Amino acid sequence: MKESSKGRIPQLIPIRYGRMLQSPFTFYRGAALNMAVDLAHTPSTGLRVQACGDCHLLNFGAFATPERRVIFDINDLDETLPAPWEWDVKRLAASFVLACRSNGFSEAAAQEAVLSCVRSYRHRMREFSEMRALEVWYSSLDAEEMIPMIKDEQARKRIQKRVATARKRGVMEHDFPKLTEVVGQLPVIKDNPPLIYHWRERDHNSFFTAVEAAFRKYRDTLEDDRRVLLDRYELQDLAIKVVGVGSVGTRCGIVLLTASEHDPLFLQVKEAGPSVLEGFAGKSRYSNHGQRVVNGCRLMQSASDLFLGWTSGREGRHFYIRQLNDMKIKILVELFGRGVMLEYAKLCGWALALAHARSGQPAVISGYLGKSDKFDQAIADFSVAYADQCERDHKLLLKAVQKGRLKIEVERE
């Protein structure tokens, strides 16, 4: 954990540890490096794909494509890198055991969720292995088509409502009044420390000049048509924004741009360091880790953000940029009942199989998986054992905090 905290903003590291301390499940979400070390010593077939690198069930979700369809896909690829396909499957499967335990489900229910996920991965990989290459590339999990498949009526209605709300949610009507205030005659991002704040320690003019230079580099990574669109907007403000569990302490922020008084745009800036997989799967071919993430998104996602690009800062740090919110629907796993968890597990297995099929060799992976449930059962056994290990690690974190070896900050509700 201390190794993975190197280079982060010092005052935010206690927030990261505080979030990880909440439960074994939240610990797991912040411990991608821990698991990468462990996975590197497990057997693999030697078959590589563009891997997610931090493939837990909360790194999937629904979001809008540039064509305004809502799809279900992997939505966090900060750690993406070519690596053994099994590593993603194992991390995803173990996350379902921990999520089920966190929700108070029985061990039998947790194992059933894992089997549902891995079985779905195996079946869908066989389907993709029988498709033409372009058919795989054109495939996506359309939310409108997925919703009728949800058997739980209450959950189905809840998701339909959330998708409808997301479609109506606009930047001007929702994000702008929530995230900004007017200072003088100009809108600026509203401080909400310690989660959203401006970096006051630095000379404002010098800092903003550096931001503008980094933004010009970002612009150059976009395709020509996207540059024309971006050029309609003027850079107004930037602030630090704390996100997630694993990303807490890295330099993440939001950028406010405006095309006119009633036409704002928010972009999310995320620092990109070396993938947690690098020490075990090899270094990235890209010198900029923001470019590593962007190209991972384009390889693994069936559709990527309109403004997806990368840049570097004055101090040599790497970043990638995308829209802050574009019909993004957060998955509320803590509200799932057993039946909904099983259906969600199927969706995640399906989405991961598609992501791996896009960059890997689906016929070879499918041939290895076979038609029996032998692989499914093996991953289920691994997942239970690894979830047990994660719970022991979480207890060690608690002891370290109690002994004063780590400082934490518990956020107010």
Q: What does the domain layout of the chain look like in residue ranges?
A: 3-169+331-402, 171-323
Q: Write the DSSP symbol of residue 191.
A: P
Q: How confident is the model at residue 143 (pLDDT cuts 50, 70, 90)?
A: confident
Non-local (6+) Cβ contacts of 110 within 8 A are: 96, 97, 100, 101, 384, 387
* 171-204: burial string, b at 16+ Cβ within 10 Å, e else: beeebbeebbeeeeeebbbbeeeeebbbeeeeee
Across 299-315, b (16+ Cβ under 10 Å) vs e yields bbbbbbbbbbbbbbbee
Provide the mean pLDDT of the chain. 92
256 pLDDT band, cuts 50/70/90, is very high
Does the predicted TM-score (pTM) go above 0.85?
yes
Kindly tell me if the per-residue pLDDT of 346 is higher than 90: yes
Give dist(CA 164, CA 156) in Å, integer: 12
Percent of the chain with pLDDT over 90: 72
pLDDT at site 46: 94
Q: Are 348 and 62 in contact (CB under 8 A)?
A: no
And the tokens for 271?
């620092």
* pLDDT of residue 50 exceeding 60: yes
Mean pLDDT of 59-87: 94
Q: Would you call 169 exposed, middle or buried from its count of C-beta atoms within 10 A (0-12, 13-18, 19+)? A: middle
- Taking residues 355-375, report their average pLDDT: 97
Mean pLDDT computed over 204-214: 82
